[in-house]
Amino acid sequence: MPLGEFELIARYFTRPGRRGDVLLGVGDDAALLDVPAGQTLVAATDTLVEGRHFLADAPPQSVGHQALAVNLSDLAAMGAQPAWALLALSVPDADEAWIDGFSRGFHALADAFGVELVGGDTVRGARIVTIQALGFVPPGEALKRSGARPGDVLYVSGTVGDAAAGLELARRCDPGAMDATLLRRHQYAEPRVALGIALRGVASAAIDVSDGLLGDLGKLCRASGVSAVVQLERLPLSRALLEGFGATAAERMALAGGDDYELLFTLSASAAPAIEPTLAACCSITRIGVIGAGRGIRCFRSGLEVEQEVAGHDHFAA
């Protein structure tokens, strides 16, 4: 007999408390949470819809991981330390194998970042996962999109384009041809929490790359009222991406593909040299350009300007 709603919640989403700041977790009408004195609460929410953000045949573990990862990436982009999550889960049926895999993917990532699941909702419907992630940052130290200034240096963490390539491979449904590294980058993003924290009080602006590097850089530039120059030959491209797709497609995926969940950030040119080693201890970082006055983004390859389509992903674009 399939499990009912409350058995599902009890079996898959109720676990022993792991944080002293959860006064009341799953089980009552709402959670009671103790925000540490002198900290600012940081809240983010993101939804994943089957067929739009994950393929119907995606491993359920990857969906559980990714639904939390994209939210932790938003917290990372604010410089926040993650603490708690709420999970609203809509599933077409009480398919225990799917929910079991989903919950294992979710809990593994939550444990890795010390995040406690403190509540949620479980309903029947199309497969849609909404998570709310909550964390803390010391007052005044949150990273914002709006502080970049002309002359600042532009950086991106990790490598870009891999997740778009992984999606392409998953769509082709050819397991033999699938490069495990690229597929993993598409299904199991690594939120850059340590880097975000290291950037507190240091970065002039930051955003996570979820909708394509140029699209998200455009958002940062608009929020800051600045322009940017990107040197395309500096884009950090993985060997797996270059070997699997070639230089031209790799560059296109790096600029316009989504779901990399890397951090794009700016440092003042004077502060950059001293802080770079500390940041690089968290994960690789690469200077890819500079911030200027005015508006817009210009791309150069080996000194020559290259026209680029700058549109990022827009769910409601015609």
Residues that bind ligand ADP (CB under 6 A): 9, 13, 26-29, 87, 89, 117, 119-122
Shortest distance (Å) from residue 90 CB to Mg ion: 12
The listed partner (Mg ion, ligand ADP, none) that binds 120, CB under 5 to 8 Å by sort, is ligand ADP
Residue 131: HSE in the Cβ half-sphere, 13 Å Cα cutoff: 27
The listed partner (Mg ion, ligand ADP, none) that binds 119, CB under 5 to 8 Å by sort, is ligand ADP
Shortest distance (Å) from residue 18 CB to ligand ADP: 14
The listed partner (Mg ion, ligand ADP, none) that binds 89, CB under 5 to 8 Å by sort, is ligand ADP
Asked if 63 and 106 touch (Cβ cutoff 8 Å), the reply is no
Shortest distance (Å) from residue 79 CB to Mg ion: 32
Asked if 120 and 5 touch (Cβ cutoff 8 Å), the reply is no
Of 86 and 199, nearer to ligand ADP (C-beta) is 86
The listed partner (ligand ADP, Mg ion, none) that binds 153, CB under 5 to 8 Å by sort, is none
Where do contacts with Mg ion occur on this chain (CB under 5 A)?
Answer: 121
Tokens of 207: 């955003």
Shortest distance (Å) from residue 6 CB to Mg ion: 11
Backbone conformation region of residue 223, classed left if phi is above 0, alpha if psi is from -120 to 50, else beta: alpha
The listed partner (ligand ADP, Mg ion, none) that binds 314, CB under 5 to 8 Å by sort, is none
The listed partner (Mg ion, ligand ADP, none) that binds 117, CB under 5 to 8 Å by sort, is ligand ADP
Of 32 and 306, nearer to ligand ADP (C-beta) is 32
DSSP-derived 3-state class of residue 156: strand
Core vs surface per residue 34-67: b (16+ CB within 10 A) or e: eeeeebeebebebebebeebbbeebbbbbbbbbb
Helices (H) and strands (E) in the chain, counts: 9, 13
Of 91 and 195, nearer to Mg ion (C-beta) is 91
Of 29 and 57, nearer to ligand ADP (C-beta) is 29
Residue 262 bridge partners (DSSP): 209
CA distances from 101 to 104, 187, 245, 258 (A): 5, 14, 31, 25
Of 27 and 51, nearer to Mg ion (C-beta) is 27
Shortest distance (Å) from residue 288 CB to Mg ion: 44
The listed partner (Mg ion, ligand ADP, none) that binds 63, CB under 5 to 8 Å by sort, is none
Instruction: Give the H/E segment covering residue 130.
Output: strand 128-137
Q: Which residue has tokens 């880097």?
A: 195
Of 28 and 174, nearer to ligand ADP (C-beta) is 28
Asked if 255 and 156 touch (Cβ cutoff 8 Å), the reply is no
Of 15 and 184, nearer to ligand ADP (C-beta) is 15
